[in-house]
Amino acid sequence: MKKNLSKVFGIRNDYFAEMLFVYISNNAPLTHIINFNQFLTRLKVFWPKKESIPSGEDQASKEWRERNAKQAHKAAMRAFMFDFIRVSGGKSISILDLVKLCCYFKDDSCNFGAECNTLMANYKKLNIEPKYVHMMTEFGFQQYLKYVPYSCLIADLEFGFVGQIHKMINKVETMSDDHKRSEEQVPSEQFPLSNWKMSSIYDENECYALGNEYAPWLISASLATPPPFKTKREK
């Protein structure tokens, strides 16, 4: 999955690829081979069943149906993201999840990193920084939505898994017959489908190529040495 990530999302990011593997495989060992049924089952939120459209539907009913479908889709995507970032497999977002996410996605490296930093900052504010914590505040689904109402990662995942395929289909449908025949000579398994790159997560190739400040940090992250943080009591 690390090797093929760029073919779908246009970037290299090994930990993001690992997160996808962990989610799709349902926390299976890294040696596990994902089959198509498992892939489709775990990511079915991106390919919802088409709803039946009643015959003779008036405009008001159509608007109501489309509004409800949009809200249901938004709710499903939020639930997916909550599951996706719980990399340790627990029922709520743990401090270990947040440490890992903040280790691999710095707050100023990408938009998703900023979301992870927001979650960590609020977790520390509630559970670490106070002098006395009578009861730990778990970061369940509602707590997650409070700080990240709708993740920036969703749009990239939707386009990566679905949008670019629809774009390619629409492109083929508008081609002339001669152009279609020339396109058919290109192997169908050839990826990437377009030169699109996801924007919510940084590209490791660009970091290494530029030799910027993230390169040594990436090496540190790959060695599983998350940056330590201090509470007010430790300062």
pLDDT tens, 39-72?
999 999 998 887 778 788 888 988 998 899 999 9
- Residue tagged 């778990």 (tokens): 138
The three-point CA angle 5-36-181 to 5° equals 75
Closest residue by Cα to residue 43 from 74, 3, 77, 67: 77
* Residue 58 within any structural domain of the chain: no
Is residue 53 helix, strand or coil? Answer: coil
Q: What is the pLDDT of residue 227?
A: 45
Query: Domains in the chain: how many in total?
Result: 1
- Cα–Cα distance, 143 to 134 (Å, whole number): 18
* Residue 34 within any structural domain of the chain: yes
Domain interval for residue 128: 5-47+64-222
Closest residue by Cα to residue 128 from 6, 232, 41: 232
Local structure of residue 33 (DSSP, 8 states): P
Q: What is the pLDDT of residue 134?
A: 85
Q: What is the pLDDT of residue 107?
A: 87
Query: How many other CB atoms sit within 10 Å of the CB of residue 100?
Result: 21
* Residue 18 within any structural domain of the chain: yes
* Residue 192 within any structural domain of the chain: yes
* Residue 54 within any structural domain of the chain: no
* Residue 59 within any structural domain of the chain: no
Give CA separation, 127 vs 118, 122, 124, 149, 232, in Å.
Answer: 14, 8, 5, 21, 12
* C-beta of residue 193 within 8 angstroms of C-beta of residue 223: no
Beta bridge partners of 93: 139
Residue 89, by phi and psi: left (phi above 0), alpha (psi -120 to 50) or beta?
A: left
* Residue 210 within any structural domain of the chain: yes
Give CA separation, 83 vs 88, 97, 124, 192, in Å.
Answer: 10, 11, 21, 27
The three-point CA angle 152-40-199 to 5° equals 20
Residues of the chain with pLDDT under 50: 186, 188, 215-217, 219-220, 222-235
Q: What is the pLDDT of residue 2?
A: 87
* Residue 76 within any structural domain of the chain: yes
